[in-house]
Amino acid sequence: MELALTMALTPFLPELAVSSLIILLVLLYIAYWRSKYQSLFPIDWPLVGLLPSLVANLHNLHDYVTDVLAASGQSFTAHGPVATNMRLFITCDPDNVRHIFTSNHENYPKGHEFAEIFDIMAGAFFTIDGDPCRRQRAKTQSILGDPRLVASMASNCYDKVRNGLLPFLTCMASTRTPIEMQDLATRLMFDVTAMAVFGVDPGCLSTDMPSMHVSTAMDTIMEVGLFRHTVPASCWKAMRRLDIGPERKLAAAHTVLHGFVSEMMEKVRTATHHHGHGDDAEEKQAPSSMDILSSYINDPDYNADGDLLHSMLITYMVAGRDTVGTTLPWFFYNLAMNPHVVFGIREELAPIASRKAATSTSNGDGTTVMFSPEDTKPLVYLQAALFETLRLYPPGSIERKTVVADDVMPSGHEVRAGDAVLISLYSMGRMENLWGNDCREYRPERWLSVSNHGSSKLRYVPSHKFLAFNSGPRMCLGKHIAVMQLKTIAAAVVWNLDVEVLEGQTVEPKLSCLLQMKNRVMAKVKKRAI
């Protein structure tokens, strides 16, 4: 049998040898190509689409997507498993961004899929589109534009830094006790935001470091949100029905957040009631009338105990806590890695500190200097350092839109009605053709230009290129407040303390819609000798 088979194949041996050699060379080439570029090109597999590529790269998803976008000209299309009819267009091209967010804004709403992903905020301006969104944004703009509220928020932030953050850090410095950067920033901004929203200080930033279960629940919303973004809706909805996996954790988070809102509202009602009856003891604890809740509590469009008011208050808490609370750890990490930036910020602060020297606000040692929002408003290098942090580490790493009608992007890519559009803010800050060959370096100077008088001024960068505060009709309404808070906190810490990140740690983003730090990044602080 074997002899007969050999004799039958003998005439074809040269051809078989050549064919085998060609196949071997092709396989070797493919293996080499895959090993060299597998991180750059996702495989849109038959039947299962992009899902295996995403799963295989979950450990470094943001950088993986960045490499893919850089290799594919800043945009690519992909599919989910065939049964889901899931189609994705992923981009960080500024021309596409301007088209999506401004030029053809009405064709790219957030869509009902986005609203389902963040159902904890159902009905609030963060998740809705069209006229309802415009009406809510108009009300929000009037609230956040009220000079009395802005002044109250500025005062609360200033006081929390002076009486809470700096004493805590000074205590840690005296004992050389390491602090977890992300946890500290989150606690600080949870308190500051709750004071703005409810007029009540939860006291998360205190020496006994109370449980942060409410803040942890907010983190869960963003972590499971990314999971919902990247898997077919039918998958996570099935898990929700079965109450398993991430959906079980999310359901518990929803309960915690709604409970927190109810508790805060009850505190406000109780304090207001006692305040109205003139109880001197309670009067001292009565909440400030200048808070966000007071603008909604008597509005007939927002039932005082209804789901919409809860959604709105949770939205404000998330927006206020996350923008600043996520940026601060990356800011101080980058400063620790770049001492020359610390020097530049202190050089800018020095003339103000000198003027304050005789009458500086003190925490008991006569050396602590605080800087008011009026002090920090004109400081361009400090703002450049903060914007550089936001460029590389935007709090919201992705934006999602839905296509209403078939369209062609400026990049030439066609999108069809029903497609999901994902915009990677993280990747946009790392594109060489947008920011130069040093795009991955932390360099605040890229934000500065020289004015006609020889002084530095902030360089204008359009919002479709720097998307940290959104762009177009949905531009962040609280940008001015976030910048004020960032400057107040940053100036106080940089001037009064040295921050040192402990060596031997892996510093990377958490797998979440929110670009928080992963792995409990630890730092030490020491009182600066001024």
Query: Binding site membership for heme: which residues?
Result: 476
Give how far the C-alpha of residue 183 lies from the chain's centroid of Cα atoms, to the nearest Å. Answer: 15
| Distance, CA of 103 to CA of 241 (rounded, Å) | 39
Which residues on neighbouring strands pair with residue 91, listed in sequence order?
75, 423
Tokens of 189: 């901004």
Q: Could you tell me the maximum CA-CA distance found in the chain, to the nearest angstrom?
A: 110
CA distances from 222 to 68, 70, 187, 248 (A): 23, 26, 17, 14
Three-class SS of 214-266:
HHHHHHHHHHHHHHHHHCCHHHHHHHHHHCCHHHHHHHHHHHHHHHHHHHHHH
> What is residue 152's three-state secondary structure?
helix
Q: In terms of C-beta distances under 8 Å and separation of at least 24 residues, what long-range contacts does 105-112 make, across chains too?
A: 105/472, 105/473, 106/404, 107/403, 107/404, 107/405, 107/407, 108/401, 108/402, 108/403, 108/404, 108/421, 109/401, 109/402, 109/404, 110/400, 110/401, 110/402, 111/400, 111/401, 111/402, 111/420, 112/402
| Distance, CA of 107 to CA of 121 (rounded, Å) | 22
Give how far the C-alpha of residue 207 lies from the chain's centroid of Cα atoms, to the nearest Å. Answer: 27
| Distance, CA of 116 to CA of 482 (rounded, Å) | 27
| Distance, CA of 447 to CA of 384 (rounded, Å) | 6
Which residues make up each annotated binding site? 476
Residue 68 near residue 430 (C-beta atoms within 8 A): no
Residue 502 near residue 522 (C-beta atoms within 8 A): yes
Residue 380 CA neighbour count, 13 Å, CB half: 13
The CB density around residue 48, as the number of other CB atoms within 10 Å, is 17
> What is residue 527's three-state secondary structure?
strand
Tokens of 156: 């609360």
